[in-house]
Structure 1
Amino acid sequence: MLAAVLSGLIVSILYIPFGKYLKDRLSICVSFLPIALFAYFASFIPTIRDGGHITFHYPWVPSLGINLDFHLDGLSLLFSLLITGIGSLVFLYAAPYLKGHRYLDRFYAYLSLFMAAMLGLVLADNVLLLFIFWELTSISSFFLIGFNNDNADSRKSSLIALGITGGGGFLLMAGLILMGHLSGSYSIQEMLGANEYLKGHALYGWILALVFAGAFTKSAQFPFHFWLPGAMKAPTPVSAYLHSATMVKAGIYLLARLNPVLGGTDYWMYPLVIIGGVTMLYSAFHSLFRTDLKAILAYSTIAALGILVFLIGIGTPESLLAASVFILVHALYKASLFLTTGVIDHETGTRDVTRLSGLRKVLWPLSIAGILAALSSAGVPLTFGFIGKDLIYEATLHTVGVLPIVLTALALLTNVLVLYAGFLAGIKPFTGPLPQNLTQVHLPNALMWGAPLVLALLGLLFGCLPFLADDALLNPAAHAMLQAPIGTSLKIWHGFNTVLLLSGITLVSGVLLYVIRKPSQRSLASIERFNAWSPRHLFGKVAQYSKAFSRRYTHTLHNGFLRVYLLRIIVFAVLLLAFRLFTGGPIRLTLDQLSPVSVYEIIVAAILIAAIFLAVTTSSRLTAVVATSVIGYCICLQFVFYSAPDLAMTQFSIDTLTVVLFVLVLFRLPPFLNLANRLTRIRDWTVASAFGAVISLIAIQVLNQPFDGAVSRFYGDNAYTLAKGKNVVNVILVDFRGFDTLFEIVVLSIAAIGVFSLLKLRLNASEKE
């Protein structure tokens, strides 16, 4: 399992040295990876169908509660098959679609990385591991959305998407850590046993708010939905893979996975039903006014995501089964429509639906895919969408505790608008007369029209034979959401009932709307008049104000003068330490613990004070460096007096190296500029004296505290037995405090890279100005 999850990451890394060899004809070879992964996960279907589940455990950082724990059940299997199955078709589709693109190898590297991140997210059982993959999906999608990096709109869209999803991810991290801390485990399966405790805890509301923030931003729920239409600047394979079937459903997966842990309360149900309901109706309504095919599909995708949140919020067995079915239904028809749109754009050079018609005469296999996908999105009988629509109406009609009529009416209106959007994207371009300027359009590579056709035919197959996906995928997925048997089988015909009537009303109303309403640029302009009140515009205003505040803050506190930075740091440290010192209890200033002062110490202290005076009064840089080195050597002698030769040698080496480096760098510089006036000197002396006084008081206070040797004894007793080291100080630095040392090495490495970059920097005349 670990190899399967990380295989995409490994392939992505291998593209760095070998990507140039996998362009053009060989680019299709990478498609074997998702195909093999699909076959691997499909092999688990019998186990999951029989009610089993599989857990994989790989220790990683057990001391921090982080392990590579993967759990495969019905929900994770459904998503894994979607990720690898649709991924296989997208990988194959992208080879001819991006043929000849100079960054084709880079595209496949990003796509492989994203696939690995999504697989890790849906299979992770440890919430910290889930969060790592969650953030990796945001990073990889940032590169994919901004793939056309020479386009300013693509760069802006990728930054907006990263900002929204990254901000939500930060809040999600806090919520997951809080859940793990309260439940005593970061394993999702173990959290199931603590669900009642979590729901009854005083912090339960905060956990929900943080988890909702992560899920809503990732799955484009109102008011965070606007990043998804902007992400349509990405190439069509990205839109089909990320923004219909996988990444945007990561938030849906999170809510479904945590439903047994956090769900079942009013605090869980009402926010999801309200936000999901607002999102699906708002976005479906906006799809009426769009003329760009990808924009139409983007808003209908947001509406579908709102439907899924709405269904998870209801939380009944019927609604969770409807959610699991609709996840598959939507992935099949929406990915097919996106891929169809990509072919249309690729061959005609436009996505404007008002300029497209009659393409069935030149793209007839593609027209079959588009029409079948549109019929499935509409819920026409004998398509999988028909079963999905019926289940949605059953879920709303059988709702207890809220208004079933209101929820059903909301779902009905949304489905009518989604039907219109599906017909506009899947049927409108292929019907009617063929414009003269499109007569030269021809069928592209079979992989480009074959991929959407396969997805559309699967929607028809599952619609006619629903049992193929019922017990194998959908019932186990719903069971995982509820942690209880569903006991309902998918059927094509349920007899003449209210649900069938609602489905008929949906079809008739949607078809009438499609016939009566024609898309136009005028309708698009009419809705754009309200952009000033849109969430995108309001978030943009907040971003502008934040940027202005940050600029003012930076210019005030970070003005580029090192002496100002040091002054502020020291003043803050003095105030913080003094506050803690004088509020931490009685201060003991007895000097009984001090050892007698020897004549050597007096002489060294006198030299040290003289060197300090010389360093702060001289106008020569070299003199100041030499005086500073004398201070360091005096401290070395103090270490020797107190039987610490290892510290003395370390201090001696550092001081010597520092002096040499400073001399090499500063010997050609002019003397100090004497810019300080009398008030500045008084301020600096005051701050320095206060800092010295506070540190002295703390040192004396420490000397008067009772000595507890437990820590010292622990290191002394365990340094050799646990770390096999005889030097206790080295063992502490390398083993017991290894993270501190690691981070120090990282900081020094980053600083070294920065210095090296500055040394190698060559600017032309305009850049220097």
Structure 2
Amino acid sequence: MLIAVLAGLIVSILYIPFGKYLKGRLAVLVALLPIGLFAYFASFIPMISNGGNADYQYPWVPSLGINLDFRLDGLSLLFSLLITGIGSLVYLYASSYLKAHPYLDRFYGYLSLFMAAMLGVVLSDNVLLLFIFWELTSISSFFLIGFNNDSAESRKSSLVALAVTGGGGFLLMAGFVLMGHLSGSYSIQEMVQSNEFLKNNSLYPLMLLLVFAGAFTKSAQFPFHFWLPGAMKAPTPISAYLHSATMVKAGVYLLARIYPVLGGTDYWTYPLIIVGGITMLYSAFHSIFRTDLKGILAYSTISALGVLVFLIGIGTAQSLLAASVFILVHALYKAALFLITGVIDHETGTRDVTRLAGLHKVLPPLAVGGFLAALSSAGLPFTFGFIGKDLIYEATLNTDSVMPTILTTLAVITNIFLLYAGLLAGLKPFTGRLPTAYAGIHLPHWLMWIPPMLLSLLGIAFGAFPALADTALLNPAAAAMINKPIDSPLKIWHGFNLVLLLSTVTLILGAVLYLIRKPSAGGLARIERFDYLSPRHLLTKIVYYSKKFSARYTQTLHSGFLRVYIFRIVTFAVLLLGFRLLTGGPVWFTPNHLSPISVYEVVVGGILIVTIYLAVTTLSRLTAVVATSVIGYCICLLFVFYSAPDLAMTQFTIDTLTVVLFVLVLFRLPPFLNFTNRLARMRDWLLASSFGAIVSLIAVQVLNQPFDHAVSRFYGENAYLLAKGKNVVNVILVDFRGVDTMFEIVVLAIAAIGVFSLLKLKLKASEKE
């Protein structure tokens, strides 16, 4: 299982040295990766359909509660088959669609990384491991959405998607940490055992808020939906893969997976129903005004995601089964429509539905595939979409938590709009009279029309023979959500009832809407007049003013002068420490705690006073450096006086090296500027004196505090026993605080690399200017 999850990651790494050899006709061989993974996961269908599960545990960081724990049940199997199955078709499709692209190897590398990340998300049984893969999906999708990096719009869309999903991921991490801390485990299955404790905890609403934030941003729920239409700037294979079956459904998967842990309460139900209901109706309404095929599919996708969140919010066994079915229904017809849109764009050079018509004469297989996908989207009888739509209506009619009439009405209106959008994308480009401009186009390579045809036919096959998927995939998926067995076979015919009536009304009204309303640029312009009220516009304004505030804040506090920074830091320290000393009671000390002052200390103290005065008054940089070095050597002598020769040698070495470096760097610089501002000098003198006085008072306070030898005794007793070292200081640095030392070494190494890069930098004359 571990190899299956990480296979995509391994392949993406191998693409760095070997990717250039897998271009052209050989690119099709890369599809063997998802095809092999699909076959592997399909082999678990018999076990899962019989109610079994498969758990895999690999130790990783046990001390932090992070293990590579994977669980394959009905829900994760459904998503795994979608990820690898549709991934296989997208890999094949892209080998022809992008065959001439110079960065085809890079595309497959990103896509393989994304596939591995999605498999990790749906198979992880540890929330921290799930979060790692979750963030990896955001990073890999950032590269995929911005794949056409020569386009400013693609770069902007990828940044927006990363910002929205990354921000939600940060909140999700906090929610996972809180859940793990309260339940005592980061294992999802162990959290299920503690679900009542978590639901009754006072922090339960906060946990839900954090988890919802991650799920809503990833699955483009209102008001975070705006990033998904912008992500359509990516090439069609990416849109078909990410935005129909995989990435955007990660948030839906998360809600379904966490349902046994946190679901089933009013705090869970009402927010999901409200957010999902608003999202599905708002986006479905917007989809009917779009004229770009990808725009239509983008908004209908957002609406479908809202439907899934809506169903999970209802939380009954019927609604969760309906969600399982609709996940598969939507993946099949939406991926098919995306791939068909890509072919249309590839052959005609446009995606504008107002200009497309009659393509069935030149692209007959795609016309059949688009027609079948549109029928499944509409929910016509004997299609899989019909079964999915009926289950949605059954779930809304039979809910007890809120008013069934309102929920059913929302579902019917949404489905009418989605029916129109599906016909617009799958039927409109192929009907009517063929424009003369498109008379010369031809059917592309079979790798570009076979994948959408297969997906469309599967939508019909599952609709005509639902037994192919119910007990094998969909019932186990719903059972994993609700954490108890479900035996509800899917049926084509449920008799003459209210559900059938609602389905008929949906079909009739959707068909009438399609016949009487023609897409136009005018309709889109009318709806765009209200963009100033859209969440995207409002967020853009917030970002604009945030940047403006940040710029002013930076200009005010960050002048670029080191002396200004030091002045502000020391001023803050003086105010803070002075306040603490004033409120902490009188400062006192006992003179007998001090050792007698020797003549050596008096002499060294005098030298220090003279050199400090010289360092702050001289106008020569070299003199200041020499005076500073004398101060360092005097400190070395003080270390020697107080029996710390190792510290003295360290100080001597560092001070000598510093003086040499200062001289090499500073001897070519001009003398110090001669400041004539007497007030500034007095200010600096007062600040320095105040800081010195406060530090002295703190030192006196420390001398009068009772000294606890517990820490030093521990290191002294255990340095040799635990670390096998006799030098206690070295043992502390290398063993007891080895992680700190390691990071200090890393910082020094990074600084050294930076300095080396600057030394080797060769700029042109224009660049130097």
1:591 and 1:700 in contact (8 A); partners too: no
Return the offset for 1:61.
Answer: 2.4
**Equivalences for residues 157-556 of structure 1 within 5 A:** 157-556=157-556
**Equivalences for residues 655-670 of structure 1 within 5 A:** 655-670=655-670
1:221 and 1:306 in contact (8 A); partners too: yes
For the structure 1 residues 529 and 745, does the alpha-carbon distance in structure 2 shift closer, same or farther, using more than 3 Å as the test? Answer: same
Provide the rounded CA distance (Å) in 1 between the counterparts of 2:611 and 2:319.
Answer: 79
Give 1:228's aligned amino acid.
Answer: L
Q: Which moved more, 1:87-96 or 1:11-20?
A: 11-20
Provide the rounded CA distance (Å) in 1 between the counterparts of 2:594 and 2:5.
Answer: 61
Give 1:241's aligned amino acid.
Answer: Y
For residues 92-124 of structure 1, give each alpha carbon's deviation from its aligned partner in whole angstroms, at most 9, with x where no partner exists.
111111112111111111111111211122222
Provide the rounded CA distance (Å) in 2 between the counterparts of 1:701 and 1:153.
Answer: 62
For the structure 1 residues 272 and 606, does the alpha-carbon distance in structure 2 shift closer, same or farther, using more than 3 Å as the test? Answer: same
**Equivalences for residues 128-139 of structure 1 within 5 A:** 128-139=128-139
Return the offset for 1:145.
Answer: 0.9
For the structure 1 residues 658 and 524, does the alpha-carbon distance in structure 2 shift closer, same or farther, using more than 3 Å as the test? Answer: same
Give 2:69's aligned amino acid.
Answer: D
For residues 213-253 of structure 1, give each alpha carbon's deviation from its aligned partner in whole angstroms, at most 9, with x where no partner exists.
11111111111111100010011111111111111111111
2:308 and 2:323 in contact (8 A); partners too: yes
Report the counterpart of residue 755 of structure 2 in structure 1.
755
Report the counterpart of residue 120 of structure 1 in structure 2.
120
For the structure 1 residues 39 and 552, does the alpha-carbon distance in structure 2 shift closer, same or farther, using more than 3 Å as the test? Answer: same
Provide the rounded CA distance (Å) in 1 between the counterparts of 2:699 and 2:38.
Answer: 65
Provide the rounded CA distance (Å) in 1 between the counterparts of 2:609 and 2:4.
Answer: 65
Q: Which moved more, 1:702-711 or 1:215-224?
A: 702-711
Q: Which moved more, 1:105-114 or 1:227-236?
A: 105-114
Provide the rounded CA distance (Å) in 2 between the counterparts of 1:260 and 1:63.
Answer: 26
Return the offset for 1:483.
Answer: 1.2
2:314 and 2:401 in contact (8 A); partners too: no
Provide the rounded CA distance (Å) in 1 between the counterparts of 2:504 and 2:258.
Answer: 35
Give 1:212's aligned amino acid.
Answer: F
Give 2:138's aligned amino acid.
Answer: S
For the structure 1 residues 323 and 590, does the alpha-carbon distance in structure 2 shift closer, same or farther, using more than 3 Å as the test? Answer: farther
Give 1:192's aligned amino acid.
Answer: V
**Equivalences for residues 719-730 of structure 1 within 5 A:** 719-730=719-730
2:733 and 2:741 in contact (8 A); partners too: yes
For the structure 1 residues 184 and 590, does the alpha-carbon distance in structure 2 shift closer, same or farther, using more than 3 Å as the test? Answer: farther
1:74 and 1:473 in contact (8 A); partners too: yes
Q: Which moved more, 1:372-381 or 1:622-631?
A: 622-631
1:370 and 1:456 in contact (8 A); partners too: yes
Return the offset for 1:725.
Answer: 4.2
For the structure 1 residues 167 and 610, does the alpha-carbon distance in structure 2 shift closer, same or farther, using more than 3 Å as the test? Answer: same
For the structure 1 residues 59 and 658, does the alpha-carbon distance in structure 2 shift closer, same or farther, using more than 3 Å as the test? Answer: farther
For residues 655-714 of structure 1, give each alpha carbon's deviation from its aligned partner in whole angstroms, at most 9, with x where no partner exists.
222222222221211112234722222232333333333333333333333333333343
The SS at the match of 1:198 is helix
How many residue pairs get aligned? The number is 769
Provide the rounded CA distance (Å) in 2 between the counterparts of 1:367 and 1:584.
Answer: 83
Report the counterpart of residue 620 of structure 1 in structure 2.
620
Provide the rounded CA distance (Å) in 2 between the counterparts of 1:396 and 1:575.
Answer: 63
Provide the rounded CA distance (Å) in 1 between the counterparts of 2:70 and 2:752.
Answer: 38
TM-score, with structure 2 as normaliser: 0.96
For the structure 1 residues 595 and 325, does the alpha-carbon distance in structure 2 shift closer, same or farther, using more than 3 Å as the test? Answer: farther
For the structure 1 residues 614 and 514, does the alpha-carbon distance in structure 2 shift closer, same or farther, using more than 3 Å as the test? Answer: same
Give 2:295's aligned amino acid.
Answer: A
For the structure 1 residues 592 and 260, does the alpha-carbon distance in structure 2 shift closer, same or farther, using more than 3 Å as the test? Answer: farther
The SS at the match of 1:68 is strand
Indicate the RMSD between aligned Cα atoms, in angstroms: 2.0
Q: Which moved more, 1:190-199 or 1:408-417?
A: 190-199
Provide the rounded CA distance (Å) in 1 between the counterparts of 2:117 and 2:571.
Answer: 45
Return the offset for 1:394.
Answer: 0.8
For residues 623-672 of structure 1, give each alpha carbon's deviation from its aligned partner in whole angstroms, at most 9, with x where no partner exists.
22222222222222323333333333322222222222222221211112
Provide the rounded CA distance (Å) in 2 between the counterparts of 1:62 and 1:355.
Answer: 60
**Equivalences for residues 570-581 of structure 1 within 5 A:** 570-580=570-580
Report the counterpart of residue 568 of structure 2 in structure 1.
568
For residues 187-228 of structure 1, give each alpha carbon's deviation from its aligned partner in whole angstroms, at most 9, with x where no partner exists.
222212222222222222222111111111111111111110
Q: Which moved more, 1:38-47 or 1:710-719?
A: 710-719
Provide the rounded CA distance (Å) in 1 between the counterparts of 2:331 and 2:607.
Answer: 78
The SS at the match of 2:70 is strand
Sequence identity percentage: 77
Return the offset for 1:527.
Answer: 0.8
Provide the rounded CA distance (Å) in 2 between the counterparts of 1:339 and 1:7.
Answer: 25
The SS at the match of 2:154 is helix
Provide the rounded CA distance (Å) in 1 between the counterparts of 2:294 and 2:666.
Answer: 60
Q: Which moved more, 1:218-227 or 1:69-78?
A: 69-78
**Equivalences for residues 658-737 of structure 1 within 5 A:** 658-675=658-675, 677-737=677-737
Q: Which moved more, 1:213-222 or 1:756-765?
A: 756-765
Q: Which moved more, 1:9-18 or 1:383-392?
A: 9-18
